[in-house]
Amino acid sequence: MSTPDFNLLLTLDAVLAEGSVARAAQRLRLSPSAMSRALARLRETTGDPLLVRAGRGLVPTPRALELRAQVSQLVQDAQAVLRPTEKLDLQQLNRTFNLRTREGFVDNFGAALIARTRSEAPGVRLCFLQKPDKQSTALRDGSIDLETGVAGTNTSPEIRTRALFSDRFVGVVRPGHGFCKGKMSAARYAGGQHICVSRRGLDTGPIDEAMRPLELERDIVTIVGSFSAALALAKASDLIATVPERYTTSLRHDLHSFALPFAVPPFTISMMWHPRQDADPAHRWLRGLMVEVCGGG
Q: What tens digit of pLDDT does each residue of 181-199 get?
A: 999 999 999 999 999 999 8
Task: Say what the pTM is.
Answer: 0.66
Relative orientation angle of helices 7-18 and 62-82, to the nearest 10 degrees? 130
Q: Burial letters for 120-152: b for 16+ Cβ neighbours within 10 Å, e otherwise?
A: ebeebebebeebeeeebebbbeeebbbbbbbbe
Which part of the chain has CATH 1.10.10.10?
Answer: 7-82
Which part of the chain has CATH 3.40.190.10?
Answer: 95-157+274-294, 169-265
The CATH code belonging to domain 95-157+274-294 is: 3.40.190.10
Q: Tell me the CATH number of domain 7-82, given options 1.20.1280.50, 3.30.300.160, 1.25.40.420, 1.10.10.10.
A: 1.10.10.10
Q: What is the pLDDT along the chain (297 residues), one digit of tens a residue?
A: 456 677 888 888 888 888 888 888 888 888 988 888 888 888 888 888 888 888 777 888 888 888 888 888 888 777 766 766 567 899 999 999 999 998 788 888 999 999 999 999 999 999 999 877 767 778 888 889 999 988 876 677 788 999 999 999 999 999 999 999 999 999 999 999 999 999 888 888 999 999 999 999 999 999 998 899 999 999 999 999 999 999 899 889 899 999 999 999 999 999 999 988 888 899 999 999 999 998 864
Distant-in-sequence, close-in-space partners of 27: CB < 8 Å, separation ≥ 6: 14, 17, 18
CB 130 within 8 A of CB 260: no
Q: How far, in Å, are 38, 40, 216 from residue 21 at the CA level?
A: 10, 11, 57
CATH fold of 169-265 = D-Maltodextrin-Binding Protein; domain 2 (3.40.190)
* Strand spans (E) along 90-150: 95-101, 124-130, 146-149
